[in-house]
């Protein structure tokens, strides 16, 4: 790949991380006006509609390039897509509900950095599926725990870690599980269609929960509209499309580091939009957690030798993550 193309793709992923990071601030704003499931339902249905033209454009581009699209043809392929969407959508809804509920009682900096710990949790959870976990992951776990202490706890005590922070840890675990579910079902499936199906099922589940547990009002929806549209269109639609484009053919190490900036942009967004400031102790915690997250994604020496031959087609979620 030419240097100019590498720079362009890297910038696309940085823009993706920027959108996902700033989504945390809009999520925080939305908690003041609508309930967790109302927010998730609205943003999910907007994302489902937005991804319809994205899928059509993607199919046309692929048809011109390869003569075929990734659209499912057989009943078996269609069934596999719906099953994958249902499974990943259910887990995504669970993780997103933890995140949206928790962000109401914590800062965006804490929310973004704690959520990003799913990067470290994925290889740990993979052990239960019989996969090996590198030694460096345990070092990253230790560094992230120290960082979490500086970020969330008061000096010399165990105070300061609130319910919102605990919910963010649950969200990180949920997103890690969701990534493993995607990893299990995704081979052979169109990633954009799979994304739409999982958001669709998240929307269905969230809508049912909204009708049972919440009572959305026109006033609340109107004041949360900007936050909902930002998350539905930019976070779930535009950013995902940019991510797919940016990751294709890019060195996976470069891609991973660029995507890690989501947590940094989350903290910056909280400062610029919500006026949330970090103490020196909290900044140190963020730095340690960011270091652990980056180290967890860097390849080992043998893998680095093969890096130039690897085509990164993995699906990266925040979120995302989705935020």
pLDDT tens digits for range 201-246: 999 999 999 999 999 999 999 999 999 999 999 988 888 778 877 8
Model pLDDT, residue 306: 47
Model pLDDT, residue 300: 64
Residue 196 confidence (pLDDT) above 60: yes
Confidence of residue 156 (pLDDT cuts 50, 70, 90): low
Residue 314 confidence (pLDDT) above 60: no
DSSP-derived letter for residue 307 is: G
Residue 120 confidence (pLDDT) above 50: yes
Model pLDDT, residue 315: 41
Could you give the CA distance from residue 101 to residue 35 in angstroms, rounded to a whole number? 8
Model pLDDT, residue 158: 64
User: Is 145 or 256 the better-scoring residue by pLDDT?
Assistant: 145
Model pLDDT, residue 141: 87
Could you give the CA distance from residue 244 to residue 57 in angstroms, rounded to a whole number? 13
Model pLDDT, residue 312: 42
- Our CA dihedral for 162, 167, 168, 173, rounded to 10 degrees, sits at 140
Could you give the CA distance from residue 152 to residue 249 in angstroms, rounded to a whole number? 38
Distances in Å between the alpha carbon of 162 and those of 79, 104, 154, 168, 196? 42, 11, 11, 10, 34
Q: Maximum CA pair distance of the chain?
A: 64
Model pLDDT, residue 271: 93
Per residue in 175-190, pLDDT (tens digit) is 999 889 988 887 888 8
Residue 96 confidence (pLDDT) above 70: yes
pTM attached to this predicted model = 0.86
- Point out the least confidently predicted range of 30-44, 80-94, 285-299: 285-299
What's the per-residue H, E or C state across 221-269? Answer: HHHHHHHHHHHHHHHHHHHHHHHHHHHCCCCHHHHHHHHHHHHHHHHHH
Give the mean pLDDT of 8-20.
Answer: 90
Could you give the CA distance from residue 266 to residue 109 in angstroms, rounded to a whole number? 6
Model pLDDT, residue 316: 44
Task: Give Cβ neighbours of residue 262 (< 8 Å, ≥ 6 apart).
Answer: 16, 17, 20, 21, 112, 116, 318, 319, 320, 321, 323
- Residue-averaged pLDDT of the chain: 86
Per residue in 246-274, pLDDT (tens digit) is 877 777 667 777 888 888 999 999 999 99
DSSP-derived letter for residue 2 is: -
- Point out the least confidently predicted range of 40-54, 62-76, 96-110, 207-221: 62-76
Residue 139 confidence (pLDDT) above 60: yes
Model pLDDT, residue 122: 87
Give the mean pLDDT of 193-205.
Answer: 93
| 3-class state of residue 322 by DSSP | strand
User: Is 160 or 270 the better-scoring residue by pLDDT?
Assistant: 270
Give the mean pLDDT of 4-19.
Answer: 87
Model pLDDT, residue 19: 94
User: Is 21 or 306 the better-scoring residue by pLDDT?
Assistant: 21
């Amino acid at each position: 790949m030419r240097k100019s193309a590498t720079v362009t793709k890297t910038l696309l992923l940085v823009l993706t991380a920027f959108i996902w990071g700033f989504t945390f601030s809009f999520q925080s704003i939305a908690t003041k006006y609508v309930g967790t499931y109302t927010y998730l339902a609205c943003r999910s249905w907007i994302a489902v509609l937005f991804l319809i033209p994205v899928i059509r454009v993607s199919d046309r581009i692929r048809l011109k390039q390869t003569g075929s699209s990734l659209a499912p043809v057989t009943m078996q392929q269609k069934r596999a897509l719906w099953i994958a969407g249902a499974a990943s959508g259910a887990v995504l809804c669970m993780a997103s509900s933890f995140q949206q509920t928790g962000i109401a009682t914590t800062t965006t900096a804490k929310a973004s950095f704690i959520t990003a710990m799913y990067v470290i949790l994925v290889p740990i959870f993979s052990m239960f599926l019989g996969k090996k976990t590198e030694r460096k992951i345990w070092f990253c776990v230790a560094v992230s725990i120290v960082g979490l202490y500086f970020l969330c706890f008061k000096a010399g005590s165990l105070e300061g870690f609130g319910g919102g922070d605990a919910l963010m840890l649950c969200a990180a675990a949920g997103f890690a599980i969701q990534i493993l579910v995607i990893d299990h079902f995704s081979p052979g499936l169109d990633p954009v269609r799979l994304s739409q199906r999982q958001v669709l099922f998240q929307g269905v589940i969230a809508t049912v929960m909204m009708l049972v547990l919440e009572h959305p009002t026109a006033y609340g929806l109107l004041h949360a509209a900007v936050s909902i549209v930002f998350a539905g269109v930019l976070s779930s639609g535009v950013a995902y499309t940019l991510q797919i484009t940016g990751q294709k053919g890019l060195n996976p190490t470069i891609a991973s580091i660029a995507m890690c900036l989501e947590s940094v942009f989350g903290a910056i967004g909280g400062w610029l939009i919500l006026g949330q400031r970090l103490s020196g102790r909290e900044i140190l915690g963020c730095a340690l957690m960011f270091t652990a997250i980056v180290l967890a994604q860097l390849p080992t020496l043998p893998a680095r030798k093969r890096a130039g031959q690897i085509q990164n087609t993995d699906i990266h979620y925040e979120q995302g993550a989705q935020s």
